[in-house]
Structure 1
Amino acid sequence: MAKIDFGGVLEDVVTSEEFSMERAKNVLKNETIAVLGYGVQGPGQAMNMRDNDIRVIVGQRKGGQSWKKAIDDEFIPGETLFPLEEAAERGTIIQFLVSDAGQMATWPKIKACLKEEDALCFSHGFSITYKEQTGVDPPENVDVIMVAPKGSGRTVRSNFLAGSGINSSYAVFRDYTGKARERTLAIGIAIGSGYLFPTTFENEVYSDLVGERGVLMGCLAGVMEAQYNILRKHGHSPSEAFNETVEELTQSLIRLVAENGMDWMYTNCSTTAQRGALDWRHRFRDAVTPVFEKLYKSVVS
């Protein structure tokens, strides 16, 4: 297993060079991957596996928009596209990718379809971590595994088409067959992961929920709203407030950070911008740290 230095901490990581596509195909050669749910994560993961010559079928409620989308994506009713329960019965690795609420609602019927030595695969740790509330408690005679891409389903697909991988977390909750880890890593590579980082179901869901409520969405939206409102309060036009708050961030700066990193941004902006950012960075950190502490406690409690 490879090691990557993250901020001075050496972390284990499985790379697509180490666990090759050929190896993944060999692990999955006798498996049928049933992707249940064709909404957010389902399309990207299913199409990537299909393009990698993995035997994959899709399970989706018949007749809805997602069913039609699967057909548009060339999944064929009765051959590679089935109602949820039929797909679950046909599969040996069941990728349970319906929404968290959908997993709660459909679980009793999906559970009845699981066979001994099947694998139940998630892309989010929610239903298992909070199983007392969700009721999703898998039987003892199946593997329970997770591959969680660190990006939207659209990014999983677009990165794959661009020839680049996506970071994913992986975990094994239960290894009934003795081959759960191999199955997990094979799925991770087959859906287009370039780097696979070990985690647990609990750690994945805690970090994911904090991220969504924090920097990735909630905090970002709140901070932008606060800056926009302050600029408007002090007489700036709506367009000026918008451009300095949203437009420049989303259309320019964040793309440069993604391509080059934050250190590069600091060294490639004006000295005025650099000095101001350095002066205010720690004030913002100290101001929001108590909010993040409350956020984390609310997630784990």
Structure 2
Amino acid sequence: MRAYYDQDADLNLIKGKKVAIVGYGSQGHAHANNLKESGVEQLRVALRPGSKTAQKAEQAGHTVVTPEEAAEWADLVMVLVPDELQVSLYTEKLAPNMKEHAAIAFAHGFNIHYRLIEPRPDLDVFMIAPKAPGHTVRNEYTRGAGTPALIAVEQNPSGQAHDVALAYAAGLGCARAGVLETTFREETETDLFGEQSVLCGGISQLVRAGYETLVEAGYQPEMAYFECLHEVKLIVDLMYEGGLRNVRYSISNTAEFGDYTRGQRVIDEGVKERMKGVLEDIQSGRFAKEWVLECQAGQPQFKAERRRWAEHEIEQVGEKLRAMMPWMKEGKLTQE
């Protein structure tokens, strides 16, 4: 996989463009502020009328416009709203108003890969996907560092899509760390698989099952919470810092022996086979179709599952225990 760095990018390619950032959430605020501080002077933030985040964007010194106004004005439109909102946004607001031979960019390939959005043939279509939440993209930039990012090109009528995408990534600070080249298909399918089988679906189900196993065996819920949820951060931080070897270097020999001899009894070859089924749903488009239909129906299953998980005992126990650790609020990642 090829990696690009600051010396490979020409920032002037993005500095000379009118750039519209659609959305001002986690990624949107990072993109807008990082690009502005990298010298992109012609930048606007596009939000729907009445958006609660408009004031935040204006306080940061950005001009706030509607998506329609942004599309008419911009040379490059970066779409940073949730996947399920992008189709109607593009169809109703952006496509009818975008200038000929402009560019449209995304931070995730879902709607392009599954052909839910099919941009006009005159438009450059590319992706810049930082491999970190927006707050990290912003924080790393402000301290003079950067987060790695992926770039991909889907349509390139101008012949410059790749170089502009790389310049945009450099404007975010990502070329300080390294920008890797991929495709919309590879980014989408690996991203969805990682979320569903490991990072979100896998971890949450493993934590819940471990907690319930201890509580049902008669152990105190607080003990189960500490051992099966709270300490996950300690292990993940070690993993993030230096991989699995770093974890095993840092834990006790007793824990390491249990890792080798008991972990595979819980996560066995049957899990891997079921993961292949999850991947097949992603590759075939079944998951994408299911999510689109769920959204069209008003997200009844999604909302019911959200409520069910919120009511689980582990959340109530965790809230009580976290109140005993006020230092955890410092540098909080979410602003609920």
Could you say what secondary structure the match of 1:214 adopts? helix
Residues 180-189 or 37-46, more deviating: 37-46
Could you say what secondary structure the match of 1:171 adopts? strand
Q: Who is 1:19 aligned against?
A: 8
Q: Who is 1:95 aligned against?
A: 78
State the distance in 2 between where 1:267 and 1:176 align: 51
Could you say what secondary structure the match of 1:120 adopts? strand
Aligned-pair CA distance for 1:73:
2.6
User: Retained in 2: the 8 A contact 1:144–1:172?
Assistant: yes
Q: Who is 2:208 aligned against?
A: 225
Q: Who is 1:32 aligned against?
A: 18
Aligned-pair CA distance for 1:285:
4.6
Q: Who is 2:250 aligned against?
A: 268
Aligned-pair CA distance for 1:171:
0.5
Matched, 1:185 2:166: yes
> 1:140-155 maps to which residues of 2 (within 5 A)?
140-155=121-136
Aligned CA distance change for structure 1 residues 162 and 299 (closer, same or farther; 3 Å):
same
Aligned-pair CA distance for 1:192:
2.1
In structure 1, the gaps of 5 or more residues are 1-10
Matched, 1:173 2:129: no
CA RMSD, aligned part only?
1.5
Aligned CA distance change for structure 1 residues 282 and 15 (closer, same or farther; 3 Å):
farther
User: Retained in 2: the 8 A contact 1:19–1:189?
Assistant: no
- TM-score between both structures, scaled by the size of structure 1: 0.88
User: Retained in 1: the 8 A contact 2:74–2:99?
Assistant: no
Aligned-pair CA distance for 1:105:
1.5
Q: Who is 1:159 aligned against?
A: 140
More helix by share: 2
State the distance in 1 between where 2:262 and 2:151 align: 37
User: Retained in 2: the 8 A contact 1:145–1:184?
Assistant: yes
State the distance in 2 between where 1:287 and 1:168 align: 33
> 1:1-301 maps to which residues of 2 (within 5 A)?
11-16=1-6, 18-20=7-9, 23-24=10-11, 26-55=12-41, 56-75=43-62, 80-108=63-91, 109-131=93-115, 134=116, 136-193=117-174, 194-250=177-233, 252-283=234-265, 284-301=267-284
In structure 2, the gaps of 5 or more residues are 285-336
More strand by share: 1
State the distance in 1 between where 2:34 and 2:106 align: 16
User: Retained in 1: the 8 A contact 2:125–2:154?
Assistant: yes
Could you say what secondary structure the match of 1:166 adopts? coil
User: Retained in 2: the 8 A contact 1:40–1:152?
Assistant: yes
State the distance in 2 between where 1:278 and 1:196 align: 35
Aligned-pair CA distance for 1:262:
2.0
Could you say what secondary structure the match of 1:112 adopts? coil
